[in-house]
Structure 1
Amino acid sequence: MKIDRVETFLVAPRWLFLKITTDDGVVGWGEPVVEGRAETVRAAIGELSDLLIGADPMRIEDHWQVLTRGGFYRGGPVLSSAVAGIDQALWDIAGKVRGAPVHELLGGPVRDRVRMYGWAYGETAGQVAEAAATAIAAGYTAVKIAPPGPMAFLDTPAGLRSVVDLLAKVRDAIGPDNDVAIDLHGRASIPASRRLLPLLEPYVPLFVEEPLRPEYSSDIARIVTATSSPIATGERLYTRREFRDVLDAGVAVVQPDLSHAGGISEVRRIAAVAEMYDAVLAPHCPLGPIALAACLQIDLATPNFLIQEQALGLHHHHGQDGLNYLVDTDVLRLRDGHVERLDAPGLGIDVDEKAVREAAARGHRFRSPIWRDPDGAFTEW
């Protein structure tokens, strides 16, 4: 069996899907993308495919090593994301060839279902609290929220209070038996984080996500020591070596993205490194159904798993909830706050290729929003 074709599909709302076909007709799907840079990742896949055509798809680890280390210049989100999607597709093929879900190939499941959380959005704290209550009523046991706008380097007392009030209103809306995480999206400075995080502690967040931008990862220990709330980070870290630095600093929750951090092969290693630090895995996944299915395979086989993000139906998806690209949508449906174990071979989903090709004919040009402060200076989204 040899790899015969590598195809990519730019599909709404902001995703890139990948299909690997073997010479005997076995197909594997992956989801490689850098949001807002999908065309760039697509070009990288085209270059990497020269190393794949005619090769044995079952040599997953060998391919991973060659694709990540075979070029003199290595690393970064574009290359790592291209490799991630290829890696997902190769695991999908391996599972289908062996007639087993990927989690069986990773040593078998350690749980029967995966706890999920959803996002709660709104322009005001009241709207976010209402959305959070709606999510809980729909079956979630946890939600994640984010301040709706930019954060100043050193905010006013009123600005800090607005973030605290947001969390307080959501906590009141969902009660003490459910969880809420808060994502600062890398918008806070080191001094702002040290001021803000202790004020959030009375509302017992599940974790505080990405208080700092990834370029300040070496300083995250200053944030960890400023609060009793668990600190989470990692959606913009791509290798186990990068995660080692933040784990050394005391981060409690690691959040690699299976479409960015080298795919299933590397994320399983990141989880194992985190386990050595008594840290837990909560994969980042604001993407489509293929990426989510890959996450679920890792979640099912990882002892130190905490909770899984999902974004099907996310507010900026404009009506495209991702399930449109599946033949059987039921496999990813929420039941009692969880998704049940995926037992079909490979990634456990059946991609609707006709729907994918129709969407790819339209494509997309998603770009990340550009925010500016009141004085006109660029600020973090």
Structure 2
Amino acid sequence: MRITRVRATPVAVPYRRDEVWAFGRRSGLVALLVEVDTDEGLTGLGEAAAYPSADAVLGALRSMEPLVVGSDPLRIEALIQRIDVVGTYHHTGHSSPAAAALETACWDLLGKSCGMPVSSLLGGPFRDRVEFFHYVAAGDPDEVRAEGARAAGAGARTCYLKVGSDDLDTDLARVAALREGAGRDVGIRVDANEAWSAGAAVRAVAAMEEYGLELVEQPVSGRNLPEMAYVRSRISTPLLANEASWTRSDQFALLRAGAADVVSADQQMDGGLLNLKRSAGICAAAGVPVVKHSLGELGVAVAASVHVIASTPNFRHANQGYGALLTDDIVAGGFAGPLENYSGGCLDVPRGPGLGVELDAEKAGLYAELYRESGGAFSFHDPDALSRAPALPKR
């Protein structure tokens, strides 16, 4: 089998509510659907997060195309090493989502060629269902309270809320409202996206802990591991690394520094499913659990990560997903969104060959057209945030 063509299509899917973080907002999700065609008539599906932008990922894909066309897609290790060592000059970062999409498509082809799901090719299922958190969009306390009740009603066991507002009272009001709406039995995970200094982080987490936090994600800079270790030693809530742990080398340094209790890993940021599994292995050797991070993914990428999570024991917490925000998806049956496709906050591991999902051609075309018409409206551009020239940390 040989790769004959790589096709990439940006798509934009709206949210039901804006996603808001410490430095901006977006009203929908942009991703790149990647299709890898072969001379045997099989097509593999992949998906790249539009990080840092769809144009940047498209450029990376085009630069990788000469390295993969004509190659055997079933020799995945050799192909990805060629991309990493020859094509991107040992660099991981902005090129990683493109490499991850190509690698995912190769896994899909491998599974389809032998009639097996990807999870079986990665060691076999350790679990049959994969848990995701309920993403609660930041808003006024009444909105957050209602969304917490919606999450509890849908059977979610963990809610995720962005913090790092300009003043701590705003964050505290939202966390209190979420606890009231979700009830006592739902975990609350907060994410500051590096918005706090060490002292502010310790103070903020201490003030929030009465509401029963599950994890606090990246409270301070991910580039200062001693500071993370300092904060970790002074809070009771376990610290989840994110911006500090996007690659395997980052995770290795993070663990050596004792800077986190839980590590977030992402195939989009480290070039593929094999590296996501390797990340989990590094953390398992250190006795640390992992969670799947997401830059924003639709059904193809979510299905791919579900196969890895299903086959890897130390994914012990709810993983990041966008089902609670998405209005639709591009795969048949709407695998990753909207919320109604989740049962008790979980997705079943696909049992079909390869990724086990198929494109909905009509919806893929609809959302490709939406991207062409108004794709710029779906990026993290908030006029208010742009006008204020924000800086890190906030306080």
| % identity of equivalent residues | 27
Higher-strand-fraction structure: 2
Question: 216-225 or 135-144, which moves further after superposition?
Answer: 216-225
- State whether residues 116 and 308 of structure 1, in contact with CA within 8 Å, keep that contact through their aligned partners in structure 2: yes
Helix, strand or coil at the partner of 1:348: coil
Question: 14-23 or 69-78, which moves further after superposition?
Answer: 69-78
Give the deviation of 1:214 after TM superposition: 3.0
1:350 to 1:236, Cα distance in 2 relative to 1, 3 A:
farther
- State whether residues 236 and 256 of structure 1, in contact with CA within 8 Å, keep that contact through their aligned partners in structure 2: no
Give the deviation of 1:298 after TM superposition: 1.1
Aligned position for 1:173: 181
Aligned position for 1:275: 284
Give the aligned CA root-mean-square deviation in angstroms. 2.4
- Residues 231-380 of structure 1 aligned to structure 2 (within 5 Å): 231-234=239-242, 237-248=245-256, 249-285=258-294, 286-305=296-315, 306-312=317-323, 314=325, 320-322=327-329, 325-329=330-334, 333-363=341-371, 364-365=375-376, 366-370=378-382, 376-379=388-391
Give the deviation of 1:68 after TM superposition: 1.3
CA deviation vs aligned residue, 1:167-217 (integer Å, no higher than 9, x gap): 233223222222111111222222211221222223221111121243334
Aligned position for 2:222: 214
Question: 8-17 or 167-176, which moves further after superposition?
Answer: 167-176
Aligned position for 1:30: 46
Aligned position for 2:5: 5
Q: Does 1:55 align with 2:71?
A: yes
| Letter of the 1:329 counterpart | G
Helix, strand or coil at the partner of 1:329: coil
CA distance in 2, matches of 1:84, 1:361: 24
- Residues 71-110 of structure 1 aligned to structure 2 (within 5 Å): 71=87, 73-110=89-126
Give the deviation of 1:372 after TM superposition: 6.0
- State whether residues 138 and 174 of structure 2, in contact with CA within 8 Å, keep that contact through their aligned partners in structure 1: no
- State whether residues 118 and 310 of structure 1, in contact with CA within 8 Å, keep that contact through their aligned partners in structure 2: yes
- State whether residues 372 and 379 of structure 1, in contact with CA within 8 Å, keep that contact through their aligned partners in structure 2: no
Question: 17-26 or 29-38, which moves further after superposition?
Answer: 29-38
| Letter of the 2:311 counterpart | A
Extract structure 1 runs of 4+ deviating beyond 4 A.
370-375
Q: TM-score, normalised by structure 2?
A: 0.86
- State whether residues 84 and 259 of structure 1, in contact with CA within 8 Å, keep that contact through their aligned partners in structure 2: yes
CA deviation vs aligned residue, 1:90-129 (integer Å, no higher than 9, x gap): 1111111111111100110011211221111242123212
- State whether residues 120 and 129 of structure 1, in contact with CA within 8 Å, keep that contact through their aligned partners in structure 2: no
Structure 1, unpaired ranges of 5+: 152-158
CA deviation vs aligned residue, 1:148-182 (integer Å, no higher than 9, x gap): x644xxxxxxx334323322332232222221111
Helix, strand or coil at the partner of 2:36: strand
Give the deviation of 1:8 after TM superposition: 0.4
Give the deviation of 1:56 after TM superposition: 0.3
Give the deviation of 1:371 after TM superposition: 6.8
1:369 to 1:54, Cα distance in 2 relative to 1, 3 A:
same
1:165 to 1:359, Cα distance in 2 relative to 1, 3 A:
closer
Give the deviation of 1:233 after TM superposition: 2.0
Give the deviation of 1:355 after TM superposition: 3.1
Give the deviation of 1:15 after TM superposition: 1.2
Q: TM-score, normalised by structure 1?
A: 0.89
CA deviation vs aligned residue, 1:317-359 (integer Å, no higher than 9, x gap): 6xx422xx11233687211232122111111211123432443
**Matched residues, number:** 367
1:75 to 1:160, Cα distance in 2 relative to 1, 3 A:
same
CA distance in 1, matches of 2:360, 2:354: 15
Aligned position for 2:231: 223
| Letter of the 1:27 counterpart | T
Question: 55-64 or 212-221, which moves further after superposition?
Answer: 212-221
- State whether residues 271 and 304 of structure 1, in contact with CA within 8 Å, keep that contact through their aligned partners in structure 2: yes
- State whether residues 197 and 226 of structure 1, in contact with CA within 8 Å, keep that contact through their aligned partners in structure 2: no
Aligned position for 1:41: 57
| Letter of the 1:10 counterpart | P
| Letter of the 1:67 counterpart | I
- State whether residues 238 and 262 of structure 1, in contact with CA within 8 Å, keep that contact through their aligned partners in structure 2: no
- Residues 119-198 of structure 1 aligned to structure 2 (within 5 Å): 119-147=135-163, 150-151=165-166, 159-198=167-206
